[in-house]
Chain A
Amino acid sequence: MIVASTLTTNLSILVLAGFIGFVVISKVPNTLHTPLMSGTNAIHGIVLLGGLLIVGLSGNGTFNKVILVIAIAFGTINVVGGFLVTDRMLEMFKSKPKQGGEDAAGKGEHDGKGTGS
């Protein structure tokens, strides 16, 4: 098995991700910038994973555990709150067909809950 250097592999991923970020984002129209900021904001809540990974490792004293629980809580707020708020913002851009549209939106909210929890 070929073992690539962890650091260089990760740096490659970093650089490529940066370019993807530039390309994907630069196409977004002005109007959607606030939802976009909110959406990307939710995505960096992925630091939550860091907390999840570390909290189970050995060598964590009580104080560390407290720190990590706070970190996990912060990360969760970032993720859950971020996606929900973005969803609320975007829901308003939907063209609303008078009757059926509201039902669909209601269902959508339930779906949102399902994926969130």
Chain B
Amino acid sequence: MNGLPLATSFLQNQSFLDVLYIIAFGLFIQGLRGLSGPTTAVRGNRIAAVGMAIAVIATLLNRNEGNWGLIALGIAIGTAVGVPAARQVKMTAMPQMVALFNGVGGGAVFLISWSEFRRYGSTYGSHFVQVNSAFSAVNFHVGGVPTYVAIFSVFAAIVGSVSFWGSNIAFGKLQEIIPGRPISFGSAQQIVNLVLLILALAAGVDLVAGAHSELLFIGMLVCAALLGNAVVLPIGGADMPVVISMLNAFTGLSAAATGIALNNPALIVAGMIVGASGSILTNLMATAMNRSIPAIVAGGFGGGGAVEGASGAGEHAGTVRSTTAADAAIQLAYANRVVIVPGYGMAVAQAQHAVRELTKELEKRQVEVSYAIHPVAGRMPGHMNVLLAEADVPYDQLKEMDDANPEFGRTDVSLVIGANDVTNPAAKNNPSSPIYGMPILEVSNSHSVIVIKRSMNPGFAGIENELYYEPETTMLFGDAKAAVSEITAELAQL
């Protein structure tokens, strides 16, 4: 389409477009740097968004042919779906929204690979003999596809498909469309996964070697799709953030692979940065939960059932003392220092605003209040901070675990709201517990502990919490939001 006003020869100059790409990924890197601090993060995200806009514009300028209608259609559909979804999602539902956005990214990757395969038809991967000459750039001619292009394209298809389906399952689990408990083939699970992986890889190798069967390509996609399902379905809800982060890294890598296949540096840089960051993040999350990534992928807390009985059995000697909102209010009102320990239970009950009200009421009485945030409180690292920030809790009241733990000793009351495993002393004291070694908030060091909890049901990890049986602990049973509001009301009357 030479008739377009913008498409002048200067704007379509390849060097100019390359410069735009370089600016774009410079902005991505700068944006990610901005995300490293709470004050610069908003700007960082917008800088990255500007980088993306530049990359998209550069790509549109680069095109020589028409089909603007199709492009407009795709972008219009994407915007119509993406914008309302992003604007309306509740902060508590954020993790599954990230999973969904990640999934569609993976979906785009495998669809692009598929269409590339179809477009190249019989020339796809047929130049196996040319492996050596593939190292010269001039090889990208006369319709033949260099082998490495086929390799990266097939890689992107497999990984993209795994990521797409895996993310959708993760979404389903977090949204509770699919039960959060592990679903698996039991001991056969790993064999099934391995067989699916081998089948997908075998199909991929065959395609690269020059098999021109589209059925084979679809078969490969299906195997990868089943693999994505089979890997994520057995994983328990508690491990889901780690999985989403891992799939995020996968999508990044597959985007980078697409970039190599399409010879597009912006894709390579952006995809690889995401791949690297996602890997780090995955590792950090797994470390915070004292879980190894292979163990998570191999079947989540699947073995938890047996261990649960073993660790829970000996600990029932103590009794659980329950309290009332009025008593809790008195306890809090006469404390000097209160630490609030929020967990996922607070998030699902949407209790963050009620908690903020309670804090205000306590501050009126000169009680020093802070929040102790476990790295994996909520469903993702930092999720709890987002929820509390939404309720206008000042940033400096939020204490990370390492800063919070030494303070529990001089804390009068720790108020645990819907948090469970992250406060379980078994992680420190009981080597047979499945969560042994996981860093916890040492709530039991404080003078007294009030736990607001719906019932005595165990947490995500399916483990009894010894904290509840300790003499300084009292339990306030009920919905987090209702219970907190009740305490606030009682407090106001004191």
Binding site for B on A (CB under 8 A): 3-8, 10-11, 13-14, 17-22, 24-61, 63-65, 67-96, 108, 111-112, 115-117
How many Å lie between the Cα of A85 and that of B53 in the bound state? 17
Closest-by-CB residue of A relative to B257 is A14
Are A58 and B65 in touch, CB under 8 angstroms?
Answer: yes
Instruction: Please measure, in the bound complex, the distance between the C-alpha atom of A102 and the C-alpha atom of B270, giving whole angstroms.
Output: 33
A79 contacts which chain B residues (CB < 8 A)? 52, 56, 78, 82
The answer to whether B118 and A64 touch across the interface, beta carbons within 8 angstroms, is: yes
Residues of B within 8 A of A63 (CB): 118
What are 12 residue pairs bridging A and B, where the CB atoms are less than 8 Å apart in the complex? Answer: A4-B137, A14-B260, A14-B268, A48-B56, A49-B267, A50-B258, A52-B60, A69-B77, A70-B74, A80-B86, A84-B83, A85-B101
Which of A40, A46, A115 is close to B248, meaning CB atoms less than 8 Å apart?
A40
**Would A43 and B67 count as touching, CB distance under 8 A?**
no
B273 touches A47 (CB 8 A): no
How many residues from B make CB contacts under 8 Å with A?
121
B452 to chain A, nearest CB (A): 23
Question: Which residues of A sit under 8 angstroms from B135, Cβ to Cβ?
Answer: 5, 7-8
Contact (Cβ within 8 A) A49 B248 = no
**Cβ of B199 < 8 Å from any Cβ of A?**
no
A40, B274: Cβ atoms under 8 Å? yes
Most buried by A among B60, B280, B285: B280
Which of B294-302, B374-382, B423-431 is the contact stretch? Answer: B374-382
Distance in Å: Cβ of B353 to nearest Cβ of chain A: 13
Are the C-beta atoms of A39 and B45 separated by less than 8 Å? Answer: yes
B280–A50 CB distance below 8 A: no
Report the bound CA distance from A112 to B303 in whole Å: 46
Measured CB to CB, the closest approach of chain B to A59, in angstroms, equals 5
CA distance A23 to B246 in the complex (A): 18
**Chain A residues with Cβ under 8 A from B489's Cβ?**
none
Given contacts A40-B278, A73-B75, 17 further A-B contacts (CB under 8 A): A10-B268, A13-B265, A13-B269, A21-B280, A34-B382, A35-B41, A39-B35, A40-B248, A41-B101, A43-B273, A47-B108, A49-B55, A70-B111, A85-B101, A88-B87, A95-B394, A112-B46
Which residue of B59, B82, B400 contacts A30 across the interface (Cβ within 8 Å)?
B400
Q: Taking the nearest CB of chain B, how far is it from the CB of A7, in angstroms?
A: 5
Residues from 59 to 80 in B contacting A, C-beta threshold 8 Å: 59-60, 62-67, 70-71, 73-75, 77-79
Q: Shortest distance in angstroms between A96's beta carbon and chain B's nearest beta carbon?
A: 7
- Report yes or no: B82 in contact with A80, Cβ–Cβ below 8 A: yes
Enumerate the 9 nearest inter-chain pairs by beta-carbon distance, A residue then B residue, closest first: A76-B78, A21-B276, A72-B74, A81-B82, A84-B86, A33-B381, A17-B272, A92-B389, A25-B277
A67's partner among B63, B114, B260 (CB-CB below 8 A) is B114
CB-CB < 8 A to B382: which residues of A?
Answer: 30-36
The listed residue (A46, A52, A59, A84) touching B71 by CB distance below 8 A is A52
Q: Are B119 and A59 in contact (CB under 8 A)?
A: yes
A31 touches which of B55, B121, B275, B398 (Cβ 8 Å): B398
Map CB proximity to A onto B229-257 as digits: 1 under 8 Å, 0 otherwise: 00000000000000011001001101110
A6 to B341, CA, bound (A): 54
* Alpha-carbon distance between A116 and B79 when the two chains are bound, in angstroms: 9
Could you tell me if B36 and A28 are in contact, using CB atoms closer than 8 angstroms? yes
Docked pose: A73 CA to B421 CA in angstroms: 40
Residues of B within 8 Å of A86, CB to CB, are 45
| Chain B residue nearest in CB terms to A26 | B280
Judge whether B87 and A84 touch: CB under 8 Å. Answer: yes
Q: Which residues of B contact A44 (CB under 8 A)?
A: 102, 105, 248, 251-252, 255, 270-271, 274
Minimum C-beta distance from B112 to chain A (A) = 4
Query: Measured between alpha carbons, how far is A20 from B284 in the docked complex, in Å?
Result: 18
Contacts of B275 in A (CB 8 A): 18, 21
In the bound complex, how far is the Cα of B259 from the Cα of A67, in angstroms? 18
Contact A32 B78 (CB under 8 A): no
Let me know if B31 is at the binding interface, CB within 8 A.
Answer: yes
CB contacts (< 8 Å) of B48 on chain A: these are 39, 42-43, 83
B215 to chain A, nearest CB (A): 14
Chain A interface: which of B90-98, B455-463, B472-480? B90-98
- Rounded to whole Å, the gap between the CB of B81 and the closest CB of chain A is 5
Given A74-B105, A117-B79; A50-B35 close (CB under 8 Å): no
Contacts of A82 in B (CB 8 A): 86, 98, 101
A85 and B97 contacting across the interface, CB-CB below 8 Å: yes
A6 touches B77 (CB 8 A): no
Interchain CB contact under 8 A, B140 and A6: yes
**Chain B CB within 10 Å — which of A29, A50, A86, A92 has the most?**
A50
Chain B residue nearest in CB terms to A109: B87
CB distance from A108 to the nearest CB of B (A): 7
CA distance A3 to B136 in the complex (A): 9
The residue in chain A whose Cβ has the minimal distance to the Cβ of B251 is A44
Across the interface, which residues of A come within 8 angstroms of B394, CB to CB? Answer: 95
Query: Smallest CB-CB separation from A8: which chain B residue?
Result: B135
